[in-house]
């Protein structure tokens, strides 16, 4: 079975010969997980040099008079090609602590750069305007870069979540905060790039990067939005119900492709009313989130009619649970979860896993010290993930077509806010895995529920 790595390795047609497609978007999203070295100009430096007419005039190159007029009105897109960038990057640049972030595989990322550098399609792309913003105090992690296509199109790639607790905490903060700082950074990045350079714009990203691409398009100025030709949200989380019900959201979804794997978990978080393209993966369960596992045939993804029953179940139950909590309760639960991780003394998942035997007692002690409500909420989400992972959920747990057409409300059971309010959802949250009938394991590559069912405002399509 072919993946994005195989696609890039065999891509011989240039963008002039074959237009930009969804698999190209996934390739650039995977490349963007590698933090850029110093030879790639930052957006801040580029803005400092060329952000105003006066600054551009000071940097005119009179040795090349043919380009003077263009240089007055737009900033030069100075940067290495993907081929040149790969020649600069060394093997140690791809190791985990310095190279790819988040769930990106450093070895696969290095192979992808090698393949892209040798490709007539990807090698000539110019990379510029790398920007990274990270703050423990603001609880934010953001990174993006821009690829210049041969026809002048600006392909902006937003990086997904890195390995840090800060990055993951910001993701969880989306449950109670809108916008989060990374979303604001994404909009600022888009508007700055649009002000520096002319041409059509493509926005793309995997995981949180997909959400950032969507958010930036959703909130762009009218002039910038008119230049956005396409948005690729690759298994990115959704948005709050108030956002997806807005006219502005409905106006932008015509240019958005949200693409998720069959057993999507991350892409099912919060509300996703727009049609989704569902693709096969070589992995199972939540590991289908890994972009290198998505199945490709020639220049398109191998699609299936719908996400798996487990994915639909997760989407519906998580959203119902969130609707049953106040904003303050959501924040308290997220803070409680990350206080357990902070108790390990580490700042990221990689360092925590290397010291896991030592970390477990600290995590358990921190968990015991939480309030009963916080412990119950954490158990609920953990139980939900385990059920989806092992395919253990009620036979009628996957929402039906009737569920999908029903108005969204909070009539279904959800975990109680009050510790004394023992609802059915609390019983479900604390049930053992053997308390519910088994409907069969979650889908593997090439299999899926073909009912076209949707839930929690989720609609699926294969077109």
pLDDT digits (tens, 9 = 90+) for 212-251: 999 999 999 999 999 999 999 999 999 999 999 999 999 9
Domain definitions of the chain by residue range: 4-41+79-308, 316-442
What does the alpha-carbon distance between residue 171 and residue 165 come to, in Å, rounded to a whole number? 10
What does the alpha-carbon distance between residue 403 and residue 244 come to, in Å, rounded to a whole number? 18
Q: What kind and span of H or E run contains 170?
A: helix 165-173
**DSSP string spanning 272-339?**
--SEEEEE-BSS-GGGGG-GGGB-EETTEE-B-SS--HHHHHHHHHHHHHHHTS-HHHHHHHHHHHHH
Find the mean pLDDT for residues 258-276.
92
Residue 387, pLDDT score: 81
Find the mean pLDDT for residues 189-212.
96
Residue 454, pLDDT score: 37
Dig out the tokens for 190 from the structure.
């888009």
Find the mean pLDDT for residues 403-425.
37
Label residue 280 by pLDDT band (50, 70, 90).
Answer: very high
Strand-strand pairing, 296-297 and 154-158: unpaired
Residue 54, pLDDT score: 59
The answer on pLDDT for 320 being more than 70 is yes
Label residue 397 by pLDDT band (50, 70, 90).
Answer: very low
Instruction: DSSP letter for 134, please.
Output: E
The answer on pLDDT for 428 being more than 50 is no
Share of the chain above pLDDT 70, in %: 77
> How many other CB atoms sit within 10 Å of the CB of residue 396?
11
Cα Rg of the chain (Å, integer): 23
More confident residue, 411 or 14: 14
Label residue 382 by pLDDT band (50, 70, 90).
Answer: confident
**HSE-CB for 389 with a 13 A CA cutoff:** 9
Instruction: Write the Ramachandran bin of 314: left for phi over 0, alpha for psi from -120 to 50, otherwise beta.
Output: alpha
More confident residue, 83 or 439: 83
Residue 64, pLDDT score: 56
Strand-strand pairing, 154-158 and 140-148: antiparallel
Kindly report the pTM of this predicted structure.
0.81
- Each residue of 144-184: pLDDT tens digit? 999 999 999 999 999 998 888 898 899 989 999 999 999 99
Residue closest to 81 by CA, chosen among 41, 122, 114: 122
The answer on pLDDT for 209 being more than 70 is yes
First to last CA, the chain: 21
Dig out the tokens for 248 from the structure.
């502005």
Find the mean pLDDT for residues 244-269.
94
Residue 457, pLDDT score: 44
Find the mean pLDDT for residues 433-455.
37
Q: Which of 138-142, 361-365, 392-396, 419-423 has the highest mean pLDDT?
A: 138-142
Find the mean pLDDT for residues 262-269.
91
With beta carbons less than 8 A apart as the criterion, state whether 75 and 197 touch. yes
- Each residue of 116-142: pLDDT tens digit? 999 999 999 999 999 999 999 998 999
The answer on pLDDT for 416 being more than 50 is no
With beta carbons less than 8 A apart as the criterion, state whether 176 and 71 touch. no
- Domain 4-41+79-308 class, CATH top level: alpha beta
More confident residue, 321 or 429: 321
The answer on pLDDT for 460 being more than 50 is no
Share of the chain above pLDDT 90, in %: 51
The answer on pLDDT for 282 being more than 90 is yes
């Amino acid at each position: 079975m072919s993946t994005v790595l195989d696609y890039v390795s065999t891509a011989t047609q240039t963008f002039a010969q074959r237009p930009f497609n969804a698999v190209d978007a996934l390739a650039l999203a995977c490349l963007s997980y590698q933090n850029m070295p110093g030879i790639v100009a930052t957006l801040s430096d580029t803005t400092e040099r060329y952000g105003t007419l006066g600054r551009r005039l000071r940097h005119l190159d009179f040795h090349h008079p043919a380009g003077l007029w263009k240089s007055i009105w737009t900033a030069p897109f100075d940067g290495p090609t993907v081929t040149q960038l790969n020649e600069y990057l060394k093997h140690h640049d791809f190791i985990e602590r310095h190279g790819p972030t988040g769930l990106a595989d450093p070895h696969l990322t290095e192979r992808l750069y090698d393949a892209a550098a040798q490709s007539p399609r990807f090698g000539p792309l110019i990379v510029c305007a790398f920007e990274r913003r990270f703050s423990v105090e603001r609880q934010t992690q953001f990174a993006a870069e821009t690829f210049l296509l041969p026809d002048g199109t600006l392909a902006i790639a937003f990086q997904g979540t890195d390995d840090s607790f800060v990055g993951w905490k910001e993701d969880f903060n989306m449950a109670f905060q809108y916008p989060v700082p990374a979303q604001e950074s994404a909009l600022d990045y888009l508007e700055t790039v649009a002000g520096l350079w002319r041409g059509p714009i493509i926005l793309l990203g995997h995981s949180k990067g997909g959400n950032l691409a969507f958010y930036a398009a959703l909130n762009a100025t009218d002039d910038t939005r008119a230049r956005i030709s396409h948005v690729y949200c690759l298994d990115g989380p959704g948005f709050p119900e108030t956002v997806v019900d807005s006219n502005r959201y409905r106006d932008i979804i015509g240019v958005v492709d949200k693409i998720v794997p069959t057993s999507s978990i991350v892409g099912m978080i919060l509300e996703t009313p727009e049609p989704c393209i569902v693709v096969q993966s070589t992995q199972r369960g939540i590991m289908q989130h890994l972009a290198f596992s998505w199945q490709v045939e020639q220049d398109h993804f191998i699609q299936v009619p719908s996400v798996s029953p487990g994915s639909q179940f997760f989407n519906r139950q998580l959203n119902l649970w969130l609707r049953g909590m106040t904003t303050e309760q959501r924040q308290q639960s997220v803070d409680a979860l990350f206080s357990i991780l902070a108790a390990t003394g580490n700042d990221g998942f990689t360092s925590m896993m290397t010291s896991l035997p030592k970390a477990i007692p600290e995590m358990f002690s921190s968990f015991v010290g939480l309030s009963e409500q916080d412990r119950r909420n954490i158990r609920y989400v953990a139980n939900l993930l385990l059920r989806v992972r092992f395919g253990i959920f009620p036979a009628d747990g996957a929402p039906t077509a009737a569920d999908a057409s029903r108005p969204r409300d909070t009539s279904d059971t959800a975990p109680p806010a009050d510790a004394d309010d023992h609802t059915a959802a609390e019983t479900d949250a604390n049930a053992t895995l053997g308390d519910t009938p088994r409907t069969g394991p979650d889908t593997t590559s090439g299999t899926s529920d073909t009912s076209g069912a949707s839930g929690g405002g989720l609609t699926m399509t294969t077109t």
